[in-house]
Amino acid sequence: AQTVTQSQPEMSVQEAETVTLSCTYDTSESNYYLFWYKQPPSRQMILVIRQEAYKQQNATENRFSVNFQKAAKSFSLKISDSQLGDTAMYFCAFGGTSGTYKYIFGTGTRLKVLA
């Protein structure tokens, strides 16, 4: 069975600084997807970034980038130039391709950006 672990329950970062959120996972599948979702206090889950396991290149979306280490089963999220609007709960999620049809979510990291 797949598992997703986020070992940092809470983090804080100064505005304009860079922060990295960690995520590790376990799976026996060779092809899968990994996601970072952001859930601000407004509560909507927003997709931040997506990585396909067969792609070696790390995904990037503006200030957000990932460090995907497939052999180590690690998928960390780097937020550059942090903004107050980045304050949110961040969930790492695993999406398999072998017919399970469900996300496996990590427990989340609460990020607070300080002015």
Residues that bind another protein (CB under 8 A): 32-33, 35, 37, 42-47, 50, 89, 91, 95-97, 101-103, 105-108, 110
- CB closer to another protein out of 15 and 29: 29
Q: How far is the CB of 16 from another protein (least distance, A)?
A: 27
Q: How far is the CB of 47 from another protein (least distance, A)?
A: 7
| Full DSSP string of the chain | --EEE---SEEEEETT--EEE--EEE-S-SSEEEEEEEE-TT---EEEEEEETT--SPPEETTEEEEEETTTTEEEEEE-S--GGG-EEEEEEEEESSS---EEE---EEEEEE-
Q: How far is the CB of 81 from another protein (least distance, A)?
A: 26
- CB closer to another protein out of 41 and 115: 41
